Amino acid sequence: MKNHSILLVDDEDSILATLSFNLEKQGYKVETAQNGEEGIKKFNQSRHDLVVTDLMMEGLNGIDVLKEVKKTDPDAQVIILSGHSSFANAVEALRFGAFDYLQKPCDRSEFSKKISNCLAKQEFRRQHLILGEKLRALNECKRIAKLIRNLQDFHRPSQEAFSTIDVNNIVDEVCLLIKTKMKKRKIDFNINLSEKELMINGVQDQLEQVILNLLQNAEEAITSDDGEINVKSELKDSFVIIQIQDTGCGIDPKIIGSVFEPFFTTKATVKGTGLGLSICHTIIKAHNGDIDIKSQPGQGTTITLSFPILRS
């Protein structure tokens, strides 16, 4: 409480002297101004915690002071005093952002209580902003940690042991996970898997990561209340084919050649680290596979993965 500064603006010396004396006794740091112009100048120089201003003054009145203070600092607190109180004046003061409106001469205890409440609100606001900054900093640390993990994953594929895996099982399990997550969204999720076993030589958790990443991208690309995602698998010319098609925002064909570059982002993936597709591309190439993207803005995207079938 003792560290708070208050600016008093009034054209009556006796009012300034009385209010200053009472506030300084309570431990506040007080500065005074004898008109609106001086008050605004002093506030701009010192940014006081609270401004208490008379309503009726020659030149700039209390509402003018209130407007200028709020223009400089929208979070600043202002209390309006008036010897000619009216409901219309009170409404106008509150409409322009005053914390409160009091009639002169003020009851000392009521005035002190209003000051205390106003500064408590200001302190709460400051603590809220500080907490917000701490949370943003924490989220940024989490984002950086995720980026580091992704960078580590970027070089991981060649270090993993390959085994015989069924692509249909991987696609089916990941699709089930995504469908559960999307229950609250009106997106048609259609899955059409080959009846034949689609066996390849690969690393299961890495291929799960690829399918999961691509399906999440497809969901994020659909920004409307409805949309459609189609997933299918098939055997074609000795290659296992996985196709993921969405009706999302699409990608400009001019930049499709850049989507696999590290740190590339689109409007649909702006929240990510920009490494997802790069990691997918690296994993697919490590599996002797290929990835093809076809897309048009506003017309969705079709991604086709192909891997050599494992001969029995």
Query: Do 110 and 218 share a domain, yes or no?
Result: no
* Dist. CA 161–CA 203, nearest whole Å: 7
In a domain, 102, yes or no: yes
- For residue 1, the model assigns a pLDDT of 45
* Dist. CA 81–CA 293, nearest whole Å: 68
Query: Do 122 and 190 share a domain, yes or no?
Result: no
Domain range for 15: 5-127
Query: Do 210 and 67 share a domain, yes or no?
Result: no
Neighbours of 174 (CB within 10 A): 21
Residue finishing a domain among 107, 127, 147? 127
In a domain, 104, yes or no: yes
In a domain, 146, yes or no: no
Number of domains in the chain: 2
- For residue 124, the model assigns a pLDDT of 74
pLDDT in tens, the chain (312 residues): 447 899 999 998 888 898 888 888 888 899 999 999 999 999 999 888 899 999 888 889 989 999 999 998 888 889 988 877 667 777 888 888 888 888 887 788 888 888 888 888 777 777 777 777 776 766 667 766 666 566 555 555 555 568 899 999 999 999 988 888 777 778 888 999 998 889 999 888 889 989 999 998 898 888 887 889 999 999 998 999 999 999 998 888 888 777 777 666 655 444 555 667 888 888 888 889 999 999 988 899 999 999 999 876
Query: Do 250 and 194 share a domain, yes or no?
Result: yes
**CATH number for the domain including 62?**
3.40.50.2300
* Dist. CA 309–CA 312, nearest whole Å: 9
**CATH number for the domain including 251?**
3.30.565.10
Query: Do 164 and 60 share a domain, yes or no?
Result: no
Query: Do 162 and 302 share a domain, yes or no?
Result: yes
Q: What would the two tokens of residue 22 be?
A: 């009472």
In a domain, 86, yes or no: yes
Query: Do 118 and 163 share a domain, yes or no?
Result: no
